[in-house]
Amino acid sequence: MTHTRMTWQAFRSQLEKYPEQILQFQYAADKLVAPSYHITEIKQAPITSVDCGGKINTWTEIIVQLWEPEQPQTSRAMAVNKALKIVDLVEKNIDLHPNAVVKIEFGNAAFDTRQLYPGEFLLEGENLVVNLQPDATQCKATDRGATCGTPKKQTMEAAESCTPGGGCC
C-alpha cells in the first residue's frame, strides 16, 4: 500500500484551519485514542540510512507521541487550539523542519505501540478526526528502478540466498 506522507507544514496547516474543534485520533477501524490522551512529546528525528544498493538516504521525521493515562482524567479530548499551544511551545525550543514527514506514535493495552501516518482529517460534528494509517516496509532501491535482484513475488528460498552487496534487498 502506497501512502502519501504528510509534511509537518501540511499537518500544522490542517490543525490551524479548525482551532475550536475537538482533536481525535483514529488508530484503527472505529477505534479512537481515549479522550484523556496527552501529547507527551514532539520529537524531530533526522534519519540517515544506507539501502541495500549502497545508496545513502536522508530525511527528517517529526513524531508526535500520544499517551493514554491508565486512569482517564476527562471524557472529552483536547481542543485543536490546545494541541497548537503544545506545538508552539515545542517550536520555541526546536526549529521543526517544515518538510519533515509526520508520524503519530501511539499504543495502549489493546494496540502495540507503533508509529502511524496521519491520513484524512475528517470533520465529524465538533470533532476533527485524524485518521491514522499504518506504514509498510519497502525497498528504497526499487524506487530507483532496481529489481532488488528478485522477481516481484520472491520465494523464501530466494530471500534466504540474498547476500549483502549481491544486488538484492
pLDDT digits 0-9 by tens, 69-122: 988 777 889 999 999 999 999 999 999 999 999 999 999 999 999 999 999 999
Does residue 128 share a domain with residue 148?
no
Task: Let me know if residue 2 belongs to a domain.
Answer: no
Contact at 8 Å (CB) between 100 and 60?
A: yes
Q: Verify that 126 and 157 share a domain, yes or no.
A: no
Q: Are residues 13 and 81 in the same domain?
A: yes
**b (16+ CB within 10 A) / e for 109-146:** eeeeeebbbbeebeeeeebbbbbbbeeeeebbbeeeeb
pTM of the predicted structure, to 2 decimals: 0.82
Whether 78 is in a domain gets the answer yes
Same domain, 111 and 147: no
Q: Are residues 145 and 94 in the same domain?
A: no
Domain residues for the domain of 143 are 137-169
With 0-12 CB in 10 A as exposed, 13-18 as middle and 19+ as buried, what is 162?
middle
In a domain, 28, yes or no: yes
Do residues 115 and 141 both lie within one domain?
Answer: no
Instruction: Establish if 1 belongs to a structural domain.
Output: no
Give the neighbor-by-neighbor strand order of the sheet with 56-67.
Answer: 31-32, 22-28, 127-133, 111-124, 101-108, 56-67, 38-50
82 in a structural domain: yes
d(CA 103, CA 86): 16
**Are 40 and 101 members of one domain?**
yes
**Number of separate domains in the chain:** 2
Q: Both 77 and 145 in a single domain? A: no
Q: Where do we find the cell 481542543?
A: 79
Statement to judge: residues 28 and 12 lie in one domain: yes
Q: Is residue 3 part of a domain?
A: no
pLDDT interval class at 166 (50, 70, 90): low
Q: Are residues 66 and 112 in the same domain?
A: yes
Asked if 86 and 49 sit in the same domain, the reply is: yes
pLDDT of residue 121: 97
Residue with more model confidence, 3 or 138: 138
Shared domain for 41 and 61, answered yes or no, is yes
Q: How far is CA 47 from CA 57, 60, 125, in A?
A: 8, 6, 38
